[in-house]
Amino acid sequence: MQDTPSTQTPTDEDKFAAPIAKGVDVIIDQVKRLPMGPGVYRMLDEDGNVLYVGKARSLKKRVSNYTRLQGQSNRIMRMIMSTAAMEFVVTRTEAEALLLEANLIKRLRPRFNVLLRDDKSFPYILITGDHAAPAIVKHRGARKRKGEYFGPFASAGAVDRTINALQKAFLIRNCSDSYFENRSRPCLLYQIKRCAGPCTGEISGEDYGGLVAEAKAFLSGRSQLVKTELAKHMESASEALDFERAAIYRDRLAALSHIQSHQGINPQTVEEADVFAIHQEGGQTCVQVFFFRTGQNWGNRAYFPKADKSFDESAVLESFLAQFYDDKPAPSLILLSHGVEELDLLSQALSERTGRKVEIAVPKRGEKRELVDHALTNAREALGRRLAETSSQTRLLEGVAEAFGLKETPRRIEVYDNSHIMGTNAVGGMIVAGPEGFAKAHYRKFNIKSEDLVPGDDYGMMREVLTRRFSRLMREHARLEETAEETQEDELRQDQEAFEEAGSEADEAASMDIPAWPDLVLIDGGQGQLGAVQEILEALGVTGVPLVGIAKGPDRDAGREKFFIPGKPSFMLPERDPVLYFVQRLRDEAHRFAIGSHRARRKKDITRNPLDDIAGIGPTRKRALLRHFGTAKAVSKAGMDDLTSVPGISEAIAKLVYDHFHE
């Protein structure tokens, strides 16, 4: 009697042995041709998307490590399994490789790297050096304008407040050069003692230069010396019974004290440094950054980089630092709360980029350690607040799913609204909310382009907005219909996710990333608007997207909104329901965004010059025409002879301009 062969259920490892082996084969094939020198490598999936960017002292040795699966983390195993191709860049030094790696990570945003999010440029204070009467202005971006830069500041608001106080303290102008040149009498800022009035000679050039020198000294860390000098002048004026002048010095001293009182801690032994502290909790990471320049605290900012749980604090901080200084100069000293593996290499790379020595240290005692501990406390508190907000947001999203009968908790909610005035400058706005609140990087505005629309036709505007939005979504992120084969693929994917979560319970799917397709679409409107949206999506072949219309209550009262869902009777939520407040916030945010976009477009149209519409007329020729004729209206009335007499305007260009205005 023969034994019947037993049927064994394949394990998770058996299922994924083939894709892992395929990824290893790709890597082995590449290793054969790699040099021993430094460089940067990229791992790509089947669609050409970059999975991971890494740097190496020896490309051959580093990449060959991925061919040995023993002891690899789940993150690395998933990365190998998804690899279908690799790309390489050879560099001269490892420091160059580190800088290139950081640049590529920021630009390509690979899913398996630590990603620095919300990396906006920092504002600076600029005291201009290209004018006889320097101005004090806020500056962002490349330092192309001549002058002295002070900062960075943690926020634009901090710069504005500081400039406001500095104007009171030093009476330096902040107007544009063209405004300055065309003044015939002092402006209002002179009247309210916020400017010395150099434009009309209310102060001599020498005395104004003294004010500018004092401002530079204060911003350069010599604040106590400046305050001492001002106090002496105030006492001298008071003794001379010149109380009006004494009051001016008193007000200037008060303005300086106001600046310093808002700076928090001001170290005694640290002239210039950035302080980084990192804290991990609940699967999330916070990096708190404090900026100290010229012995003064110029504010702090919290970052929440995206990183897999397998990255410890040191690994996250190391990758964060390289990306942080990719587009900004590093100070002479960087203080860290945790040591990083390649501290010396990072210091060397930043020194090469900055052109001067950059020291990176993990202080153990003294005032520097106190600064790091202070930053670490702020990192813990910031992450605690974020975790609390995320938890609250999760509960609200669960409430939305229950209120609107959704199968799952939504991870992407889209809200649409339109804004226009009598049909002019019509703009559609789409805002997005997810597990971490409003996702402003996903917001979109739609300039209404259709010429067939009747002015004020809200249905027509919504039709254009949704048609453009979902047509593009279907092109770029097509959703497959459920066929038997695809169902099997979906089951395989679910098995894969189960395998991936074996060592890490929260991965990309649970990292609060926002998917491309909405789980819920909210429309500002009632049954009619909702019906129109249904027709649009059906015409596009889009199905399975939950729709909810929000009609304003009687007399447009907040709290009495009526909700419409296709195929169900309308209903209202209890007045004090947190979900109702949440939906109101979403609708109000969509309204704010649409109105803001409309106002920006209207402002642009108001300031638009008719010469902008003429092909072949660039900024230089436009300036030449306006300098010669004064206004665009005068240009429109000019004859051919007048136009050709303008420097830089040939006969062919003059004919273009003339024909444009004389069709």
Q: What is the CATH number of the domain that holds 655?
A: 1.10.150.20
CA separation for the pair 11, 498 (Å, rounded): 12
Q: List the Cα angle 6/8/9 in 5-degree steps.
A: 150
- Domain's final residue, options 542, 563, 596: 596
For residue 201, report the phi and psi dihedrals to the nearest 5 degrees: 75, 25
Write down the pLDDT at residue 510: 36
Say which DSSP state 259 is in.
H
- Are 226 and 277 within one domain? no
In a domain, 631, yes or no: yes
In a domain, 184, yes or no: yes
Peptide bond just before 610 cis, omega within 30 deg: no
CA separation for the pair 63, 572 (Å, rounded): 59
Instruction: Dump pLDDT digits (tens) for 535-581.
Output: 888 888 888 899 999 887 665 555 678 899 988 888 888 877 888 88
DSSP secondary structure string for all residues of 383-429: HHHHHHHHHHHHHHHHHHHHHTT-SS--S-EEEEEEEEETTEEEEEE
- Which residue pairs, CB below 8 angstroms and at least 24 apart, start in 447-453? 447/601, 448/418, 448/420, 453/423, 453/426
Tell me which of 452 and 418 has the higher pLDDT.
418
- Are 137 and 214 within one domain? yes
- Are 298 and 332 within one domain? yes
Q: Cβ distance 459 to 528 under 8 Å?
A: yes
- Are 452 and 571 within one domain? yes
- Are 557 and 625 within one domain? no
Strands, E assignment, 422-487? 424-434, 437-438, 444-447
- Are 453 and 325 within one domain? no
In a domain, 36, yes or no: yes
CA separation for the pair 103, 95 (Å, rounded): 13
In a domain, 397, yes or no: no
- Are 446 and 550 within one domain? yes
Write down the pLDDT at residue 5: 41
Average pLDDT over residues 137-146: 86
For β-strands 359-361 and 437-438, DSSP reports them as: unpaired
Is residue 611's pLDDT more than 50? yes
In a domain, 7, yes or no: no
Q: Which two tokens stand for residue 484?
A: 């038997």
- Are 351 and 277 within one domain? yes
* Total count of domains within the chain: 5
Is residue 137's pLDDT more than 50? yes
- Are 475 and 570 within one domain? yes
Q: What sign has the CA pseudo-torsion 645, 650, 656, 659?
A: positive
In a domain, 493, yes or no: yes
The separation between CA 384 and the C-alpha centre of its own chain, rounded to angstroms, equals 22
Is residue 315's pLDDT more than 70? yes
519: nearest Cα among 545, 542, 558: 545
Would you tell me how many other CB atoms lie within 10 Å of the CB of residue 531? Answer: 16
Write down the pLDDT at residue 358: 92
In a domain, 652, yes or no: yes
Say which DSSP state 174 is in.
-
Among the ranges given (1-10, 313-322, 443-452), the one the predictor scored with the smallest mean pLDDT = 1-10
Q: Cβ distance 302 to 308 under 8 Å?
A: no
- Are 230 and 137 within one domain? yes
Range of the domain at 60: 12-108
In a domain, 116, yes or no: no
Among the ranges given (39-53, 210-224, 310-324, 459-473), the one the predictor scored with the smallest mean pLDDT = 210-224
CA-based radius of gyration for the chain: 31
- Domain's final residue, options 241, 261, 281: 261
The CATH number assigned to the domain holding 545 equals 3.30.420.340
- Are 320 and 248 within one domain? no
Write down the pLDDT at residue 263: 53
The separation between CA 43 and the C-alpha centre of its own chain, rounded to angstroms, equals 26
The pTM for the full model equals: 0.69
- Are 620 and 570 within one domain? no
The CATH number assigned to the domain holding 302 equals 3.30.420
Instruction: Dump pLDDT digits (tens) for 229-266.
Output: 777 777 777 777 867 767 766 777 776 666 655 555 66
Instruction: Tell me if residue 459 falls in helix, strand or coil.
Output: helix
b/e 615-647 (16+ beta carbons within 10 angstroms → b): eebeeebbebbbebbeebeebeebeeebbbebe
